[in-house]
Amino acid sequence: MEYKLIKLEKIQDFINALIASGKQVLAPKQKKEKVFFSLVGSFDEIAMDYIQTAFSAKSAVFPKCEELYTFEKNGKDTILHNPPAPENDTIVFGMRPCDGAAFDYLTTFFLKENPDYHFKMRYDKTIFVGLTCSSGDEFCFCTSVGISPSDTRGSDLMLTKTENGYYMEIITEKGKKLVEQFSNFFEQTEQIDKTKYTANIQKRFDSSALKEKISGAFNWERWEETSLPCFGCGTCAFSCPTCTCFDIQDEANLVGGARYRIWDTCALGIFTKHASGHNPREKQSERWRNRILHKFLYTDEQFGTLSCVGCGRCIRNCPAELSIIEQVNAIMEG
């Protein structure tokens, strides 16, 4: 791996040069009391000292609503048109390491078997720049799910703030190309020990012990009791950086139309409702169980990885104050 240093006074020029070159920069931006990933027009708009954004930057590669294709009737034939690939690169700048790990999971989900055309065309044009966490809050639990607050997985470049400037690890070829293109902003440096600049996030549960316990948890008798506060709004899933569920909707008339993909969630009652009216997850407790088991059991079985990265968003954002950390600990207690 190669290492570079970008002096504190140069980071601003680097970001502004990225924007001037035509790249889209999606970065954390303060909006009232929360921070959101937003497209920025200059470095001054970026919040560099935030704990976590309200939503991740997932929509850069998997938008909330996207056109899959348009279609038109031509006699007996139907002609499909795929949307064009984005022309310019997008830089996801300053994402936290848990979100980097989430992008790592998303690429496994969308690209491992039968690569998803729409995800891939965006992912190929996106460069991920991670930022080591120097602090966390009571909702952060990345270390409980095997992720460190300076983890580089899912990032093309990784920044760590030091007293000398931002220390940069060049992780992928994509990252290397970007650094070469803007080489005048960087200095060569040696590898450093990042520990001193990295937040100390306490473990909230032991994921190996959970793995053993959760495999037999489908018929756990406390699902109903622990899910009672949930009113099925889906905020947890919509703010989750690893949730991948979507619905397909058509908007069409007699001559043509468009097919869209829109985020969906297992928290909603209609999610598994069959056309017959039968619903295999009739009760909210069954839907809550699905969410927890999907994060901590099903994707482990399917892809060999948990699909919770410990970002804490579902706890911070839940209007019913449900906590996935408390839920996991309740399962551990039996």
By the criterion CB under 6 A, which residues form the site for ligand SF4?
230-237, 239-245, 265-267, 290-291, 294-295, 308-314, 318-320, 322, 324
Instruction: In angstroms, give the least distance from the CB of 178 to ligand SF4.
Output: 27
Cβ-based nearer residue to ligand SF4, 168 or 322? 322
Pick the closer one to ligand SF4 by CB: 170 or 314. 314
CB neighbours (10 Å) of residue 198? Answer: 18
How far apart are CB 25 and ligand SF4 at their closest, in Å? 24
> Cα separation of 269 and 281, whole Å?
7
Cβ within 8 Å of residue 54, ≥6 positions away: 34, 35, 36, 239, 313, 316, 317
Q: CA 217, 221, 224, 227: dihedral to nearest 10 degrees?
A: -40
Pick the closer one to ligand SF4 by CB: 29 or 204: 204
Query: Residue 34 forms beta bridges with which residues?
Result: 31
* Token code pair at residue 178: 């970007």
Min separation Cβ 314 and ligand SF4, Å: 3
Q: How far is the CB of 234 from ligand SF4 (least distance, A)?
A: 5
Residue type, 250: D
Name which of 152 and 290 has its Cβ closer to ligand SF4: 290
Nearest approach in angstroms of CB 58 to ligand SF4 is: 10
Rounded Cα–Cα distance for residues 30 and 60 (Å)? 18
8 Å CB contact between 27 and 93: yes
Nearest residue (CB) to ligand SF4, 198 versus 207: 207
3 state SS of 126: strand
Q: How far is the CB of 218 from ligand SF4 (least distance, A)?
A: 15
Q: Which is nearer to ligand SF4, 181 or 202 (CB)?
A: 202
Going by C-alpha positions, the residue among 170, 184, 291 that lies closest to residue 230 is 291
- Secondary structure class of 144 (helix, strand, coil): helix
Residue 73 CB neighbour total at 10 angstroms: 14
